[in-house]
A and B are shown apart, each in its own frame.
Chain A
Amino acid sequence: MILIVDLSWKARSLSRDEFVGPVARIVSGAGQEWREVHFSALSSEDIQSASGIILCGTALKDNFFAEKAEEFAWLRDVRVPVLGICAGMQALCLVHGGFLRLACEIGMTTVRVTQPDPLLGDPPSFEAYELHSFACDPPPGWVVSAASDRCVQAVHHPDRPLYGVMFHPEVRNDQVVERFCALCRE
C-alpha cells in the first residue's frame, strides 16, 4: 500500500484535488493500493504499514509545510521508498540538512538528467511542469540527478531509497510516479 501524504496548509483543503488527486490517479493506474493522509495526522502506524510513501506538492503560495519541518522528522529514519514531489522534495531536503532559497518556476521547463536515476529513465532531457516559489540546496552527500536552468530538479539519497523531484510528474510525466510504484513492489 502506497501512502500518499497531503502537504497542504490544512486537511481536506481546496488544494487537495489539485495536488493529491492526480498523483493518486496514477498510483491507482499502476495497480497499486493507496491511502491518503494529511501530514499533520500522520502516525507511526501509517508509516510502518506503507510499502512506499509519496509526499505531494502544494499551491504556489502554500509554504506552511516548511514552517512545520519538524513534523517530517520521521523521514530521517524511514525504511521504505519515499518520493517527494515539489513541496515534498523541499521537506525531504530540509529534514536532511538541505536549505531552501527563493527560485520561482511556473509552467513547462526543460529538465536535464545529469546522473542515472531509476525514476527519470534514459532521455538526456525532458519537458516538465513546474510550480514552485522555492528551490532546494540539497543535503550534503545527496546525488543531484537532474537540473533546469533555474535550479536542482531531482535528488536522491546516496544509500537509501529517498527521491525528490522539484517538477510535478503528475502533469505529463506519469512515468516517474509509475517507476516509483514499481520500485516499491520490488
Chain B
Amino acid sequence: MKLGVLCSGGKDSWFACHLAIQQEEVACLISIRSRNEESYMFHIPNIHLVPLQAEAAGLPLVTVETEGIEEAELDDLSRAIRLAVEEYGIEGVVTGALLSVYQASRVQRICRNLDLWCFNPLWYTDPEVYMGKLISSGFRAIITGVFAAPFSADWLGREIDKEALHDLQQYVRSHRITLTGEGGEYETLVVDAPLFKKKIVIEESEKEYANFRGFFRVRRAVLEAK
C-alpha cells in the first residue's frame, strides 16, 4: 500500500514514518507550513527544514502553506493530501498522533472524505517504551522549542539521548509534564534517523528564551555523509 506520511519534522512523525516503512511503501511525505505560531494542528519551529530531512531520507515531499486559522487549515491539509494522491498515488495517510483526539479525529475525517486509509502507529503508545525505542533505534532528535517549567535555555538544541530522557523522566514526576512532549511542553527536530541516508548538521542557529518559553531556530544546516 502506498502511503503519505504527515511530517512536521519532529520525532513523532519521523518515528511513525520509520514504522510505516517497515510494513508498507512510503511514497511521499506531506508537510503543512503554518504562518500561525499558535496553530492547533501544525507546529511551526523549523518546519522549513522538512525539505532537507526529505532529501536526507530520499523521499519526495508535498508541501502546502496555510494561514493557520483553526478550521481553514484543515482545508489546506485536505488539499495537501489530495495533491499527494494525484502526484504519488497514495492510498493512505500516516500520522505521528500520540494522544490528541483533536488532531487524530480531524485527519480521520479528511481521510474518510478522500476514501483513504489512516494509520496512527504511535496512538496511545507507552511513553516510556516509545522514548526508549526512539533512542535505541538510532534516532537523533534535538529540542527546538520549550514551552513549560522547568525547562531552562540549556535545553534548546539539546539532543534527546539517555541522559536527557532521564531528566525528562524526572520532570514528569516533579512538574507533571508528559514524557513525549504531547502536552506541548517541548518540540523536537530529527537530525538523523535509521531511514536517513545522510545526517543533518546544523551550522548556524540562534536561541530565544524567556520565562520557560524558548525557541532554537536553525538558520543554516547541511547534509553530511553518515
Contacts and interface: CB of A to CB of B under 8 A. Distances in A.
Interface of A: 12-15, 17-18, 21-22, 25, 59-62, 104, 106-108, 129, 131, 133, 170-172
A60 B112 contact: yes
A131 B120 contact: no
B166 interface: no
A18 B108 contact: no
Given A13-B23, A106-B108, A170 B119 contact: no
Given A61-B118, A107-B101, A17 B123 contact: yes
Per DSSP, chain B at the interface is mixed
Given A106-B109, A129-B101, A15 B119 contact: yes
Contact of A106 (B20, B24, B112, B122): B112
Contacts, number: 61
Interface string B145-176: 00000000000000000000000000000000
Contacts of A131: 108
Interface centre among A25, A62, A106, A170 (most CB of B within 10 A): A106
B101 A171 contact: yes
A17 B109 contact: no
Contact of B119 (A18, A104, A106): A18
Given A106-B112, A107-B108, 4 more contacts: A12-B23, A22-B125, A59-B119, A61-B115
Given A60-B108, A61-B116, A14 B121 contact: yes
A164 to B, nearest CB: 21
B19 interface: yes
Interface residues of B, number: 24
Given A59-B118, A59-B119, A60-B118, A17 B108 contact: no
Interface string B13-51: 000000110011000000000000000000000000000
Nearest to A26: B124
Contact of A17 (B92, B105, B111, B121): B121
Contact of B124 (A25, A61, A106): A25
A21 B124 contact: yes
B212 interface: no
B125 to A, nearest CB: 6
Nearest to A129: B101
Contacts of B121: 14, 17-18
B14 to A, nearest CB: 16
A21 B117 contact: no
B109 to A, nearest CB: 5
28 contacts: A13-B23, A14-B23, A15-B119, A17-B19, A17-B122, A18-B119, A18-B120, A22-B123, A22-B125, A59-B117, A60-B108, A60-B111, A60-B117, A60-B118, A61-B112, A61-B115, A61-B116, A61-B118, A62-B117, A104-B112, A106-B105, A106-B109, A107-B101, A107-B109, A131-B108, A171-B101, A171-B124, A172-B101
Q: Nearest 6 pairs between A and B by C-beta?
A: A107-B105, A22-B124, A18-B123, A14-B23, A17-B121, A14-B119
A107 B97 CA distance: 14
B168 to A, nearest CB: 20
Contacts of A12: 23
Nearest to A131: B108
A93 B108 CA distance: 25
B204 interface: no
Contacts of B117: 59-62
B126 interface: yes
A2 to B, nearest CB: 18
B94 interface: yes
A106 B102 CA distance: 10
Interface centre among A12, A14, A106, A171 (most CB of B within 10 A): A14
Contacts of B94: 14
Contacts of A18: 119-121, 123
